[in-house]
A and B are shown apart, each in its own frame.
Chain A
Amino acid sequence: MTPSDTDILQWPLPAGEHGTPPPLYATLRRERPVCPLRMPSGQTTWLLTRHDDITGVLTDPRFSRNLVYPGAPRLIGEDFNSVPGGIFNLDAPRHTRVRQILNPLFNRRSAERHSAAIAAHAEDLLTAMAEGSNPVDLVGAYTAPLALRVSCGLLRIPADRREALHGCFREQTSQNADRTDVAAATEQIGALAAEIVADKWSAPDPTEPVGALIAAHQADEITSDELHGTVSYLLVTGIEPLVSSASTGIVTLLRHPEDLQSVLDDPRLWPAAVEEILRFHHNGYLSNPRVALEDTEIRGVLIRAGESVVTPMIAATWDPGHYKHPHRFNIHRRTDGSRTFGAGPHFCLGASLARAHLRIAFEALFTRFPKLILAIDADELPWDEDNLFTRPLVLPVAW
């Protein structure tokens, strides 16, 4: 890579207000859409900020998600990008093989099947909330336990086993942890995945994701690495990203009372509100890297084989070339939030589930508590600066 040290930005970039992307993205998109960025690991990557460049990389087979090799680009250290066989770390045809096993369990029909369980968990938590402290921290009372219960129900694993490693999951996605701690967290999560696989091994249920992967491995359709790596990955992706989107979405709805009132007046608008929340917020400001398999040019910048790029989806969904006045939250947009889920073969496996989860979580909350307000000024919300996932650490509300 050729840029001098003075040209290189350092991650993390200062975030925007209220869970919005780093303001610098807008400048970079205009002036330097392919910009060198140094990660906390000390490695340098290329940061893309234009919608078309981002989707171009995600759909270009010359950029690989296989980061399972010594010296591969890392945010800090050996996080889930380093796990061999994990579905997110595979390129075609291995990726296609694993994805085909999981697709039927994460498609729209499957999401509809899970909707009743999501709604039941939501109602259960909201009933407890109504009987408890007011004001209350909504992350602790609702968004975090809801995602935990739903994900563990989907994977059919005990929630307490997943929750016991909560610190490891945070460590693995930290932006400023020690690299040794990141590697140790990844190892512990891998050990939990192995335990879960072992528990289900003798009688795998192909109607749930872990069982389906075990059955596929037993039928020689996927390797042991693909089984364990993908289970490990499913443990990561089902919870924290949804806590992020749900919590941040609620803040945004409460900060935009006119939009919220529109939805309360006409609940048929909830799907549109969810789409706009998905566009307005991604669950993080960065993306996992991809590595160029050959020399490639983007906007006149040469990306050499072996160099990496990062493609933040929130940079794409805030590109004014595709979304008019992207900084304005507007549930009446005609665009949807699909782009937040990526593009190409790695388009988010859980997109339908995430949409259902958010719609049910928001609708249940605001139907039960239509007078909900922030119990502190929005500027006083503590946004998590330590972690890749964008979220308030505490979300005090009253009703």
Chain B
Amino acid sequence: MTAVPAEAVTVHPLNEQSREILDSGEAAVFGLSPFNGFYRPATVETLLAWAAGRFRHVEAVLPGYETAFGLIACGRAPREAAQSATRAVCRMRAAARRALDASGPNPHDRVNSWTRLVNRKRYRELRAQVDEVFRSDGRLRELCRETSRCYLRTVLGGEPTPAQIELNLGYVLAELPLVLDLPGITGTRTALLLYNRPWPLQLALWNDEVPALAPAPGHGFATIALAVEPAVASAVEPTVSSAVGPAVARVVEPAAASAVEPAAPLNARTRGARS
């Protein structure tokens, strides 16, 4: 892997806690979105190479099988949607593994879909907790449905049906553990989730809107962007779906400018420096 200078990537921590975690340099976890135009193979390789020089532990997470739900909501047949999602995840996984190959042991174990993360106990615990809170907390249900609705509205070009919103919820819920306790999932003391933009559901959790689901003390979030954008950064994917993160961020968009703006446009409360 070619060394990537520190200034090649800009990173904006969400809050003070995230900044401290970034500065500690312990662990970075990239959310990779196969259908998000920002995450082209060359970008993924640059990001991971950059992180390898800055963090002692680097992982990448890809969406799980629930990716297909977004495609199905847009009218694809389930079998075809599953095949399409699988191919997209595999392509991005290959790029990430190539990038991590030179940066340390076991690249295969450090690039996982969140379906594969089910074999980590902490992910399972968090997934069960998310389901439980989803049943009991109206605000979480509202936030998740809104996340699903916003995404579908964008890709459908119109208002989705309640059934479409419900179908795509599987994706939103499976993703949530990754915004709650990455240190628990990666087995590190602290860990920073890196994505190319924040999204409302995640910010709502940082803002304590769902008290039963608060990001863990060692968990942080930062937006990342390439300081120099690739020439064809605005390539737009016609289809949908998927990303760690935001169903809304699954919409493909020009990769650049917005990601280098200060993060935390909502008044994300700084959770004191508990790490």
Contact = CB atoms under 8 A, between A and B. Distances in A.
Contact of B119 (A134, A373, A374, A383): A383
Interface string A382-397: 1111100000011010
A43 B69 CA distance: 48
Nearest to A376: B65
B82 A384 contact: no
A315 B108 CA distance: 26
B89 A380 contact: yes
A269 interface: no
Contact of B118 (A134, A374, A375, A394): A394
Most buried by B among A382, A385, A399: A382
A30 interface: no
A133 B119 contact: no
Contacts of A153: none
A58 B93 CA distance: 45
Given A377-B86, A396-B65, A398-B68, A382 B79 contact: no
A381 interface: yes
B89 A377 contact: yes
Contact of B115 (A133, A371, A396, A399): A396
Main SS of chain B's interface residues? helix
Contacts of B78: 134-135, 398-399
A373 B112 contact: no
A374 B113 CA distance: 14
Interface in A200-223: none
A380 B66 CA distance: 13
B82 A382 contact: no
A269 to B, nearest CB: 24
Interface in A344-374: 371, 373-374
Contact of A393 (B68, B83, B89, B124): B124
Contacts of A377: 86, 89-90, 93, 113
B79 A380 contact: no
B117 interface: yes
Interface in B211-242: none
Interface in B83-132: 83, 85-86, 89-90, 93, 112-113, 115-119, 121, 124
B113 A380 contact: yes
Contacts of A384: 119
A373 B81 CA distance: 11
B53 interface: no
A45 to B, nearest CB: 26
Contact of A381 (B66, B89, B116): B116
Nearest to A397: B82
A377 B81 CA distance: 13
Contacts of A394: 115, 118
Interface in A119-141: 133-135
Contacts of B93: 377
B170 interface: yes
Interface in B56-74: 64-66, 68-69, 72
Contacts of B113: 376-377, 380
Nearest to A384: B119
25 contacts: A133-B167, A134-B72, A134-B78, A135-B68, A135-B78, A371-B79, A373-B79, A373-B83, A375-B82, A375-B85, A376-B64, A376-B65, A376-B89, A377-B90, A380-B113, A382-B117, A383-B119, A394-B115, A394-B118, A396-B82, A396-B115, A398-B82, A398-B83, A399-B78, A399-B79
Interface of A: 133-135, 371, 373-377, 379-386, 393-394, 396, 398-399
Give 7 nearest A-B pairs by CB, closest first.
A396-B65, A398-B82, A382-B119, A382-B118, A375-B82, A376-B65, A134-B78
